[in-house]
Amino acid sequence: MKRLLSVLLTAGVLVAPTLAMAQHNPAAAPAAEGQIVGDAPGAAPDSAKGAEASTSGSGGEAHATPHYPLEKPSELDWTFAGPFGHWDLGQLQRGLKVYKEVCSTCHSMNLVSFRDFGALGYSDAQVRALAAEYQITDPSPNASGEMFQRPGIPSDRLPSPYPNPEAAAAALGGAHPPDLSLLAKARSIERGFPTFVFDIFTQYAEGGPDYIHNLLTSYGEPVPEHFVVQPGTYYNPAFVSSFALAMPAPLSDGAVTYDDGAPQTVEQYSRDVSAFLMWAAEPHLVERKATGFVVMIFLIGFAIMLYLVKNRVWADTPH
């Protein structure tokens, strides 16, 4: 048995270097069926090594993988920006009108109640009249056990244009439009380093409105040659998930009539509805910033007072 083990060990010592040399030198070992000599199984070709590539559907030309959105939103001037911001009630009322006449045909706002519009400067009578324009399915059945519809009341939430998400997807080609209640907080582009550090001090919270405005105003740009837009989608370089989306351009000049003399343009419509969606997502934004500013002043004053008290208490103590 000992002699057999010694023979096997000797054979292993002789064979192992030979196999190692064969693996190191591709020419010394035959290639497996279907494998390219010199490349590991599953390895990318040399043209794609070290960089991601995408190929257009027509020319086959390689292009670097894009990072979305293709166009990052510009920082706009909003009245609610900064620690001393405030809501422009006229702009919010115009944004509500844009939502009612344009956006509400597809998008819901299930977390907003009619009575919340009192914060936009509307009276109780105006809020009741606005709610009565909608037909609401009462959550409780009638005496016969049947569901029924009635005019809306201030405590009702804005109804969805579709009975359920499946019906919305079926009516819109398989794409379910998102609810807009919190969209201005949910859609925001990462600003990266070091910008986000300065945002802590400037209290930048307008990423959502900046993105929404950029998205609504970026339709109609020429499609680059290496992008293939599928049927039923529309090119938009401001979209956060791709270069095209299923929603066509919702706004056009003159689509909504303003009573206060504001410009009836896509630029103005997008600004107004973006501000309105920001208010819907965080209606207490201005109050929160004001409270935070007062708290910071108090903490700074309190820290100064503690420092002076410490010096007074330990003034006569030798160090």
Angle at 263 between CA 81 and CA 212, to 5 degrees: 45
Q: What pLDDT, in 10s, does the model give residues 160-204? A: 999 999 999 999 888 889 999 999 999 878 787 888 788 877 778
* 174 occurs within a structural domain: no
* 207 occurs within a structural domain: yes
- Domain containing residue 296: CATH number: 1.10.760.10
Q: What pLDDT, in 10s, does the model give residues 107-148? A: 999 999 999 999 999 999 999 999 999 999 998 898 889 989
* 156 occurs within a structural domain: no
* 15 occurs within a structural domain: no
Distances in Å between the Cα of 207 and the Cα atoms of 29, 83, 137, 178, 218 are: 59, 16, 35, 18, 16
CA dist., res. 244 & res. 67, Å (int): 13
Confidence band, pLDDT 50/70/90 cuts, at residue 280? very high
Alpha-carbon torsion 19, 25, 26, 29, what sign?
negative
* 114 occurs within a structural domain: no
Q: Which of 33-42, 182-191, 271-280 has the lowest mean pLDDT?
A: 33-42
Q: Which two tokens stand for residue 96?
A: 């509500």
* 288 occurs within a structural domain: yes
Question: Is residue 103 a known part of a binding site?
Answer: yes
Question: Is residue 213 a known part of a binding site?
Answer: no
Phi-psi region of 294 (alpha: psi -120 to 50; beta: other; left: phi over 0): alpha
Closest CA to 251 of 282, 274, 280: 274
Domain around 211: 65-106+180-310
Confidence band, pLDDT 50/70/90 cuts, at residue 6? low
Q: Count other Cβ atoms within 10 Å, centred on residue 225.
A: 11
Reduced 3-state DSSP string for 137-167: ECCCCCCCCCCCEEECCCCCECCCCCCCHHH
* 185 occurs within a structural domain: yes
Q: What pLDDT, in 10s, does the model give residues 225-247? A: 889 999 989 999 999 999 999 99
Packing angle of the helix pair 266-281, 89-101 (nearest 10 deg): 100
Question: Is residue 86 a known part of a binding site?
Answer: no
* 11 occurs within a structural domain: no
CA dist., res. 313 & res. 91, Å (int): 55
Question: Is residue 247 a known part of a binding site?
Answer: yes
